[in-house]
DNA sequence: TAAAAAAGTTAGTCATGACTAACAAAGCAA
DNA sequence: TTGCTTTGTTAGTCATGACTAACTTTTTTA
């Protein structure tokens, strides 16, 4: 059993590296995650990640062979899931109780997720009556550390004529999130794909009587479920 | 005018030093605060404080002559007051909404006070409907940075026969706070001083039909108003 | 399959914020 | 006023987590 002492003892940096690794491995479902990929994701140099990975290996949170791919141990994974739980609970709190908008919650949650207190997060969960999803549509891991992914594909993977429902958005970019709201899209919006343009992969979509053309990059960050 | 850019840019350490200096200078009303006193308060070495003070002086938050006493600039003071505002608002939130007890709030608030977001703290304030006092009885500075102290003296300064009301407690020690609750004291308790023992300065007090003998050290941390 | 490109590693440096040990200045007391 | 004690400062070290530059290994491609 992973024991209570683990969560503490970790620096903010160590936590951020483990979370990033989890996001690349599990959320992006990558076949292989390498040192440089992690570096790019975290916007640090490959030397920095190499160094931190070394440390996380001695602490038994990460496993890898020299020049080989990176993997999380069960313990490393558990820490990452707890961070994601904290992050998403805080985002939900900011959004539902403190008048934060879609695009404002992520940055502050990035800080709040590192506050060390079991009671704080479990009480926050209770206070909000155990919410299932965060403001971007993602599932919040429960107190037992169970992590589930909502079934979804990217809008960019659809073809002409497909009809889908927006179930989640990538919350990494403030500008992207603002733009999503601006054009009138929100969680649960029903979207119809009118046309996929071959030469630049831009997509013409329709939702609530609005027709918009969005880029491939935009569509990559919108997660949907075909209806 | 102190401008918005200030609050950010500061490390957790820098913030903690400024807050500590404020607490020694203003809250403890010390005539003179020296380097070693600050070191002892923060439980670091005099070399560490000397080093940090040097940095805070170049950043114009602290003023002092070599071998002279430490003082805060208006800007340094403003940063400290904002930290105290954040600390007390978070303590109030934890206590009133998340089932934290008197003695649990301080430690977590020590972390939460360093979260950087103007919106977060002002919205938290609004969410709680602009509370006046924190769970230990201290006044919460408002968004304009106005800092006020509640009129109070220590229980230990009273003499036989005095009757007072408990208005605040020192929140630094978990054991102390737990003991205060255990014997049945709370904010607003009316206390009568039955006897002050000369040889060890212990005090016999009465409150809600209870009679207790408390030590000088205990009485130093209980703040009262004579009625 | 050999050269080139990409990925990963190592060495050395820097800033931050701790520390100890040694030293200097102030403040007090005899 | 002279020493003794307290207070403050400086120098040098360490851990953490960044960085660049140089090097090595692996993978790709011609
Ligand atoms: Mn987020
Ligand atoms: Mn983070
Ligand atoms: Mn407190
Ligand atoms: Mn603090």
CA distance A198 to B210: 84
Nucleotides of D under 7 A from a protein CB: 7-12, 16-22, 25-26
Q: What are phi and psi of B141, to 5 degrees?
A: -60, 145
pLDDT at site B8: 58
Contact status, residue B190 vs residue B165, Cβ threshold 8 Å: yes
B47 Cβ nearer than 7 Å to chain D strand? yes
pLDDT at site B172: 86
Residue A30 has pLDDT above 50, yes or no: yes
Residues 164-223 of A with CB under 7 A from strand D: none
Residue B3 has pLDDT above 90, yes or no: no
Which residue of B98, B99, B117 is in closest CB contact with A108?
A: B117
The pLDDT tens digits of the residues spanning B68-110 come to 999 999 999 999 999 999 999 999 999 999 999 999 999 999 9
- A154 closest CA partner among A205, A68, A217: A217
What is the distance in A from the centroid of ligand 1 to the CA of A102?
10
Residue B6 has pLDDT above 80, yes or no: no
Neighbours of A62 (CB within 10 A): 21
Contact status, residue B32 vs residue B67, Cβ threshold 8 Å: no
Q: Any idea how long chain A is?
A: 227
Q: Report the mean per-residue pLDDT for chain B.
A: 94
Q: SS3 sequence, B33-98?
A: CCHHHHHHHHCCCHHHHHHHHHHHHHCCCEECCCCCCCEECHHHHHHHHHHHHHHHHHHHHHHHHC
């Amino acid at each position: 059993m992973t024991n209570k002492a683990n969560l503490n003892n970790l620096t903010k940096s160590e936590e951020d590296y483990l979370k990033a690794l989890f996001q690349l491995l599990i959320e992006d479902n990558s076949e292989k995650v390498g040192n440089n990929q992690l570096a790019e994701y975290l916007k640090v140099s490959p030397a920095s990640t190499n160094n931190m990975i070394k440390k996380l290996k001695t602490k038994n949170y990460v496993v890898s062979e020299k020049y080989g791919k990176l993997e999380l141990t069960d313990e490393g994974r558990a820490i990452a899931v707890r961070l994601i739980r904290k992050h998403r609970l805080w985002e939900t709190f900011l959004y539902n109780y403190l008048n934060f908008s879609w695009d404002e919650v992520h940055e502050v949650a990035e800080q709040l997720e590192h506050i060390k207190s079991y009671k704080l997060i479990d009480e926050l969960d209770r206070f909000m009556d155990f919410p299932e999803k965060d403001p971007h549509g993602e599932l919040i891991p429960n107190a037992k550390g169970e992590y589930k992914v909502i079934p979804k594909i990217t809008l960019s993977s659809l073809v002409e004529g497909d009809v889908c429902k927006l179930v989640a958005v990538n919350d990494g970019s403030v500008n992207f999130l603002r733009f999503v709201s601006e054009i009138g899209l929100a969680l649960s919006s029903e979207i119809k794909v009118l046309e996929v343009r071959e030469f630049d992969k831009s997509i013409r979509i329709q939702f609530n009587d609005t027709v918009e053309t969005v880029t491939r990059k935009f569509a990559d960050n919108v997660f949907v479920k075909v209806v």
